[in-house]
Amino acid sequence: MKNSLRKLRPALLLLMALLLPVLHVAAQTAAANEPEMADSLRLNGKIYVVVAVITVVLAGLLFFLASLDRKLTRLEKEVRD
């Protein structure tokens, strides 16, 4: 399992390096525009539901990728032997 996490680490770091500037620009633009939808979601407390759903989806994708990597590693070892 540690081996699969080591393999995923560069990909995750690259993804973060690519997404952080985009998120920074998006945050600055959102602060300047102040969309009404975000205000209404925040006032009703539904913004937490949106954040929770996004978090669950991303966690599910990461779990799927990690399990797929483990399966592929096991198959590669079988083919080598």
The pLDDT of residue 2: 66
pLDDT recorded at residue 76: 94
- Tally of domains within the chain: 1
Compute the distance between CA of residue 75 and CA of residue 77 in angstroms, rounded to an integer.
5
Q: What does the pLDDT profile of the chain (81 residues) look like in tens digits?
A: 567 667 777 777 777 777 778 777 777 765 555 666 777 777 888 888 889 999 999 999 999 999 999 999 999 999 998
| Host domain of residue 16 | 2-80
Q: What is the DSSP string of 14-70?
A: HHHHHHHHHHHHHHHHHHHH--HHHHHHHHHTTHHHHHHHHHHHHHHHHHHHHHHHH
At residue 56's C-alpha, the angle toward residues 4 and 61, to 5°, is 35
Residue 7 has what pLDDT? 76
